[in-house]
Amino acid sequence: MRLRNALAAAVLTLTGAVTAGGVPHGPVVLVAAVATVAATGAGNTINDIVDRPIDAVNRPDRPLPRGVVSTTEAQVLSGVLVVSAVAATLLLPPLAIAIAVGNLVALGTYTQWFKGRMLVGNLLVGWLTGSTVLFGAAAVRSIDPVVAVLSGMVIGATVARELIKDIEDAAGDRAAGLQTAAIVWGRRRTVRVAMVIAAASVGLSGGPVLLDAYGSLYVLVIVLADVLLLQAVWSAHTDASGAQRAVKRAMYVAMLAFIVPVAAGLGG
């Protein structure tokens, strides 16, 4: 289930809830985080089942290609995680449930039809990741413009990272007959497109200041996150594997930009 990735998605959900003013709603936010972990873990597990032949080339260290987990065991795990995600989500408000249902449909279409389709699959993964922010805000019944900006930033950074992952995974994807951006466009053009998308995400980061929602503390942290993001994407010219990990680190810093001002306000 790639627990670290699932927990990272839960951090996005928590950030969305905190940004939407959900600090007083601790139990509800915790339920939303649990639902996110379970849903993300289920998606990762299902993806690994489908991608087993590709991962034998690109990710031979993963449990299924290594043979330490059987396909049947992975299917059972994904089923348990789906049931857990549904059970937790049904405890949340209707808007959060609607987002979860939409994402379930999106995940199914991605696995069946859009994975490996140039840009379409990248955009869909971007939405699935960015919507975890909306899910957290919806759990506390409040999706405001600042939350929408944060979600857009996450979508942009995730799409850029997915394009870089296409470069990293080109060998196995080519063997499987997939038509990813890296295969169709080549490395240089793919990095250029990723840079444009990352720059759009950076542009969105000014939104909370223009909306007069955050001040200097936000600016200080978000500028650091923006610089780290652009540097990470640019480094994909020579090191795709390191670049996509660096994009994740930049996203974590960006989350801090939204959380720290709230925490400082509570402390003050």
Tokens standing for 99? 């987002």
- Please, which residues have CB within 8 angstroms of residue 152's CB and are 6 or more apart in sequence? 130, 201, 204
Closest CA to 43 of 92, 105, 98: 105
Tokens standing for 101? 């249902």
Q: Domains of the chain, with CATH numbers?
A: 3-267 (1.10.600)
Tokens standing for 118? 């140039």
Measured distance CA(115)–CA(122) in Å, rounded: 8
User: Quick one: pLDDT at residue 266?
Assistant: 62
Q: Which residues of the chain have pLDDT under 70?
A: 112, 116, 266-268
User: Quick one: pLDDT at residue 267?
Assistant: 46
User: Quick one: pLDDT at residue 176?
Assistant: 83
Contact 162, 210 (CB under 8 A): no
Measured distance CA(149)–CA(155) in Å, rounded: 10
User: Quick one: pLDDT at residue 239?
Assistant: 97
User: Quick one: pLDDT at residue 264?
Assistant: 79
